[in-house]
Amino acid sequence: MSTRRKKKRKKNRRGISFIAVIVLVFCVCVGIRTAGLKKQSAELAERKASLEKQLKEEEQRTKDLEDLEKYMKTKRYMEEVAKEKLGLVYPDEILIEPDNK
């Protein structure tokens, strides 16, 4: 074989080796990035679930507060407050208090 061919083959081997190394580095970088994105995706899914749960809790709390507001506008609630906090009674109502010894 001539020296020209040997140099040419050596040059081709170096070029192929160089390309192989670059492809390998690229694959490693893509793999690392993929793993990072999977981890981030899992964290975001967990956060989404947490926020959805919190939203449901707040919606239930809002409903409870609306129900309480409706109840507070009733005559029954006003009577309870008048009796408990203000000590008021109807004219024909008799209060019996236990003796404290």
Tens of pLDDT, residues 24-72: 999 999 999 999 999 999 999 999 999 999 999 999 999 999 999 999 9
Structural domain includes residue 57: yes
Query: Is 68 inside any structural domain?
Result: yes
Measured between alpha carbons, how far is 21 from 11 in angstroms, rounded to an integer? 15
- Decide if 20 is inside a domain: yes
- Print the domain residue range for 45: 3-84
Whether the CB-CB separation of 77 and 71 falls below 8 Å is answered with: yes
CA 72 to chain centre: 34
Residue 83 burial class via C-beta count within 10 angstroms: exposed 0-12, middle 13-18, buried 19 and up: middle
Query: Predicted confidence band at 22 (pLDDT cuts at 50, 70, 90)?
Result: very high
Q: What is the pTM of this model?
A: 0.55
Q: Specify if 96 maps to a domain.
A: no
- Cα 54 from Cα 51, distance rounded (Å): 5
Residue pair 41/35 in contact (Cβ under 8 Å)? The answer is no
Within-domain flag for 90: no
Number of domains in the chain: 1
Q: What is the pLDDT of residues 89-101, one digit of tens each?
A: 888 877 777 777 5
